[in-house]
Structure formats: structure tokens, C-alpha cells
Amino acid sequence: GDSVTQMEGPVTLSEEAFLTINCTYTATGYPSLFWYVQYPGEGLQLLLKATKADDKGSNKGFEATYRKETTSFHLEKGSVQVSDSAVYFCALSDTQGAQKLVFGQGTRLTINP
């Protein structure tokens, strides 16, 4: 079945550092890809998405490019802030039926001032 693999956490960085969180997927067909963010004690919020190969999703300084050839959707940010501390989930969605999401295991990110 479809699956998503994220880099193991936790990840700890200093403020203004460059961030990369790796995500690779296995899927039949052409899924949509998402990054969700979960701040402490809260539900998930959609951070960005890409619906086809070579699409780049971006939001709040974060970016991810849908790479079909490497089946990847890595999350990047050029300069992180303390407020970016959260758990980040990569997910894919098939484009049929009930549009079920398949999540990676999540990566906890902590940014130190």
C-alpha cells in the first residue's frame, strides 16, 4: 500500500539555521503531497501542498517541491525561528474515493534562540 517515510527526529537547530526535513513516498498513481504542522497541544494545520510533479508548495517561508523521479517532497526553510518549533508531518493523498491521507511518523523540530 501507499506509505510515507520521514527523517527521524527530533531535530534541534539554532535560530536562523537552514532547515531540511526529508520525506519520501511510495504510491500507485499520482498522489497529492502535503506538509502539515502540529504546534504543541493543537491539531494539525495544513502548511503547504503540491498536486503534481514539479509543483512547488510554499507558505510562511517553507517550501517543498514534488519530485516524481526521486519520489520525494522534502521540506525546507532558509532561516528558522523559535516559533517554528512544532511537529511536522508529511502526507500523501490518493486522488480517488474518500481522499484518505497517509501520514509519515512526524518529525519534532525544536529551535533554540
Q: What are the residues binding another protein (CB under 8 A)?
A: 32, 34, 36, 42-46, 49, 51, 89, 93, 95-106
Q: How far is the CB of 107 from another protein (least distance, A)?
A: 10
Cell 508531518, residue located: 89
**Residue 58 CB partners (closer than 8 Å, separation 6+):** 48, 64
Q: How far is the CB of 101 from another protein (least distance, A)?
A: 6
Q: How far is the CB of 85 from another protein (least distance, A)?
A: 16
Pairing type for strands 107-112 and 11-14 reads: parallel
